[in-house]
Amino acid sequence: MLEFAEAAHHGRKTFFVEVILPLAIAKNYTYRVPFEMNGAVEVGKRVVVQFGKSKLYTAIIDKITETPPEKYEAKYILEVLDDRPVVTQTQLQFWKWMAEYYMCNDGEVMNAALPTALKLASETKITLNREFLADKSGLNDREFLIVEALDLQPELTVSDIAKLLGQKTVMPILKLLFEKSIINISEEVSERYKPRMRTFLTLNPVYQNQDQLKELFGLLEKRAPKQADAVLAYMKLSRHQKAVSKNELIEESGAGSSSINSLIEKEVFIAKEKNVSRLHIEDEGLFDIFELSAQQQEALNSIRQQFEQKDVVLLHGVTSSGKTQVYIRLMEEALAAGKQVLYLLPEIALTTHVIERLRQYFGTSIGVYHSRFNDNERVEVWQKVLNGEYRVVLGARSAVFLPFQELGLIIIDEEHEVSYKQFDPAPRYNARDAAIFLANKHNGKVLLGSATPAFETYYNARSHKYGLAEMTERFGGTELPLIEVISIAEETKKKTIQSHFTSVLMLDVQQALANKEQVILFQNRRGYAPLLLCKVCAYTPKCINCDVSLTFHKHSGKLHCHYCGYKEDSPTICPACGSTHLEYKGFGTEKIEDELSLLLPSARIARMDLDTTRSRNSLQTILNDLEEKKIDVLVGTQMVAKGLDFADVTVIGIINADSMLKFPDYRANERSFQLLAQVSGRAGRRGKQGKVVIQTYDVNHRVIKQVIENNYRDLYFTEMEERKNFSYPPFFRVINLDIKHKDPEILYNQAAYLAAELRKHFGERVIGPETPLVSRIRNYYIKSIMLKFEKDGVSVNKVKTTIRDVITQFQTTKLSKGSIIQPDVDPY
């Protein structure tokens, strides 16, 4: 109280700041601002605060108040790190929304958003006390070990010591050593971001006078020829560039660093330290003028028109219909209006190729942001976006966190890609959905682009929540691939099938090879055979952890579990009955590759699946070989569908579509469709029509029919319509605690799966969450209601609640098997 009186006396106010700490804690904390920092605090700036007993963290100021907290004494902030905010108000609102929407803490969002180099945290360092006179007697084993280690290495962290001792609890031991004055414990903070500094030189203006210059040369030539060279080199360089750096001069003149230093000492050169960018960008300035095709122009007009009423438009364009040019036009328009543009791509598509292509149009105003950038580079991009130097940002999902000033347009290419979703640490966000919110905050527009839109996106577009523009023809007149569906059953009956290849497929493959074209064979299973079966007793080896049948891998000769990675040797006699009649059932990519090489001995065949791409560069090697046509036939799993541009692939064979049509969950049709459509879309490039051969037992399957018609409409709508008429019950009982997951979207999927399973047993009485619009789940009604088990049977109760209520209750009240969840809302 005295302090307040004093403050009033001095006419100074006492401020408090609420800060976001980069930790997974539920609330934000209040710190007191020392008077001398009153002028420095501002929302969005970073401050250093002590949190807990000793740790220091970088926190972001979220609010400034004058009300002192009632229940505790606030600590002081220790330092204000920034001259101007590094996080904008809009970003803070965005963070709050994300924490709310994806059910995590502000601190977790901050962690994901801010480049690590902007977050400094202290680390506890252990050093040997100088006063300690190496008298190691009287130390116990562990203490001795620690002191020994500190003799070798002057500084250790707490976790180093935990590792050293092989135990988790080390604090008590360290404390004891500290009390005996043997060690020091200190907290160290270091700034991680270091701007790259270069020394730039200018010639002392005295030497603009020719006579003075001549005199200088005369002097130098005799006594210091290297220095004369340096001055000469400077004259040469400065003719073409404004600033000459010390490094350049060293290189150009052949003079050493010492010669140049003495020139600086003699004040011939004037040195200046300057901050230079790590992001080497050359303005290529190659304004590549292009004209839109009629179809592109039409799509562009339609998008523009729809943006007048709608904030989000889906551009549904078949593979290679030339969506990029449409994006570029829209981007140019947004830039012309003085706005910034964000162009999101899945990580895998962020290749130098794409980046170069866009740089041709947007030059140095384009920034790139993705996970391969190191910390310092990320900070530089961050700052350039903040100060408006970058007008266009090309980035992977984390680019939604950049500090945009005025975002006019967000383009989300390949909008259906699952890599837009972050799964592991929280925030478990989907960059596509987050971007839509972000654009809205900036009053900007969003264009979603895809050849195979996500279910929910397409639904939103068709129900007029989003606009919709379509491009159905390939750019440059290449026709869509011809799709042929072949009945495996029929060919088996006619005995025209060889191994797993129908005569139709074989003919197309041979034809392609004869034309020096390439082929992709798609088989949605890796390994050689997905199960081993004893013909006598029907025994099948199963994983000891997961209880799924083990897949045989020929290259290792072992049985593998595809869930947990467990391996065991493949038995030659049945472990159950001793019979030798063991048979491999089913087939995977390995077997396809094997048998094809027998049928086509001269073809160069490669395989692309998890097994062949596990090591670091192997994926790139395969892609390069394909590009350079060192591969004729590529056998692969769904990896081959991932937005990669293949050179001369004209034939795509889908070995067995049935395995793709039987995904075990309720999103089956969507996934099958997308996969089939994506794989098919790869056929035919460079002006040549491709062909897709789908081998199946189920030639009339509705998904296959949809793929042939390239038609999302009916499929999506029938799926949706089937899921509408449910009624709502008053409570439900948790019967399975497996419906528990940190990720709200996964939790929802599991609930749906569980409901579907229960429905098999209890029929219509189980009503499950079934809508596939997973991205909007939080506010959807869970129509599912678990069962109340009774001795004499089952009775079903109903509830109306949202997934959010369920998760909240999972998090707050500790639910156990049999607990009853009461919804907040009145169900009737």
Partner DNA sequence: AGCACGCCGACT
Partner DNA sequence: GTCGGCGTGCTC
Residues in contact with DNA by the rule CB under 7 A: 23-25, 29-32, 49-55, 69, 72, 74-75, 121, 124, 142, 158, 167-169, 171-173, 175
DSSP calls for 404-431? -SSEEEEEEETTT-GGGB--SSSP--BH
Q: Which is nearer to DNA, 79 or 470 (CB)?
A: 79
Strand partners, 787: 796
Q: Residue positions in the annotated binding site for Zn(2+)?
A: 534, 537, 543, 546, 561, 564, 574, 577
| Nearest-approach distance from CB 40 to DNA, in angstroms | 17
Percent helix, strand and coil across the chain, each to the nearest 5? 40, 20, 40
Q: Which is nearer to DNA, 34 or 195 (CB)?
A: 34
Residue holding tokens 């930790």? Answer: 23
What is the C-alpha separation between 120 and 690, in angstroms, rounded?
54
| Nearest-approach distance from CB 74 to DNA, in angstroms | 4
What is the C-alpha separation between 791 and 527, in angstroms, rounded?
46
| Nearest-approach distance from CB 92 to DNA, in angstroms | 18
Q: Which is nearer to DNA, 696 or 809 (CB)?
A: 809
| Nearest-approach distance from CB 279 to DNA, in angstroms | 30
- Chain Cα centroid distance, residue 290: 32
| Nearest-approach distance from CB 526 to DNA, in angstroms | 34
What is the C-alpha separation between 629 and 517, in angstroms, rounded?
9
What is the C-alpha separation between 693 and 684, in angstroms, rounded?
13
Q: Which is nearer to DNA, 42 or 123 (CB)?
A: 123
Q: Which is nearer to DNA, 429 or 522 (CB)?
A: 429
Q: Which runs of consecutive H residues, i.e. helices, occur in 242-374?
A: 246-253, 257-265, 294-307, 323-336, 352-362
DSSP calls for 636-654? ESGGGGSS---SSEEEEEE
For residue 693 the two structure tokens come to 């051969």
What is the C-alpha separation between 483 and 707, in angstroms, rounded?
9
- Chain Cα centroid distance, residue 293: 33
Q: Which is nearer to DNA, 75 or 180 (CB)?
A: 75
How big is the CA angle at 663 (ends 661 and 665), to the nearest 5 degrees? 135
Are 781 and 806 within 8 A, CB to CB? no
Q: Which is nearer to DNA, 157 or 472 (CB)?
A: 157
How many Cα atoms occupy the beta-carbon half-sphere of 676 within 13 Å?
36
Q: Which is nearer to DNA, 167 or 472 (CB)?
A: 167
| Nearest-approach distance from CB 72 to DNA, in angstroms | 5
Q: Which is nearer to DNA, 246 or 742 (CB)?
A: 742
Residue 55 carries which side chain, given as an amino acid letter? K
What is the C-alpha separation between 5 and 3, in angstroms, rounded?
5
For residue 590 the two structure tokens come to 């390995």
Q: Which is nearer to DNA, 171 or 418 (CB)?
A: 171
| Nearest-approach distance from CB 121 to DNA, in angstroms | 6
For residue 166 the two structure tokens come to 């092989």
Which among 523, 527, 530 has a CA at the least distance from the CA of 584?
530
| Torsion (CA) 630, 632, 633, 638 in degrees, nearest 10 | 50
Say whether 173 sits in a helix, a strand or coil. Answer: helix
Are 672 and 703 within 8 A, CB to CB? yes
Q: Residue positions in the annotated binding site?
A: 534, 537, 543, 546, 561, 564, 574, 577
| Nearest-approach distance from CB 143 to DNA, in angstroms | 11
| Nearest-approach distance from CB 124 to DNA, in angstroms | 5
How big is the CA angle at 703 (ends 697 and 708), to the nearest 5 degrees? 95
For residue 8 the two structure tokens come to 């009033």
How big is the CA angle at 420 (ends 756 and 656), to the nearest 5 degrees? 55
Q: Which is nearer to DNA, 71 or 495 (CB)?
A: 71
Strands 183-188 and 123-128: antiparallel
Q: Which is nearer to DNA, 29 or 420 (CB)?
A: 29
How many Cα atoms occupy the beta-carbon half-sphere of 781 within 13 Å?
21
| Nearest-approach distance from CB 120 to DNA, in angstroms | 12
Are 14 and 7 within 8 A, CB to CB? yes
What is the C-alpha separation between 584 and 530, in angstroms, rounded?
8
Q: Which is nearer to DNA, 162 or 354 (CB)?
A: 162
How many Cα atoms occupy the beta-carbon half-sphere of 142 within 13 Å?
15
Cα-trace Rg, the chain: 33
Which among 76, 56, 39, 203 has a CA at the least distance from the CA of 121?
56
Helices 225-240 and 257-265, interaxial angle, to 10°? 80
| Nearest-approach distance from CB 118 to DNA, in angstroms | 17
| Nearest-approach distance from CB 165 to DNA, in angstroms | 8
| Nearest-approach distance from CB 181 to DNA, in angstroms | 18
| Torsion (CA) 260, 263, 264, 268 in degrees, nearest 10 | -130
Q: Which is nearer to DNA, 168 or 223 (CB)?
A: 168
Q: Which is nearer to DNA, 168 or 791 (CB)?
A: 168
Q: What is the DSSP letter of 314?
A: E
Q: In what order do the strands lie in the sheet with 558-560?
A: 551-553, 558-560, 567-569
| Nearest-approach distance from CB 75 to DNA, in angstroms | 3
| Nearest-approach distance from CB 246 to DNA, in angstroms | 40
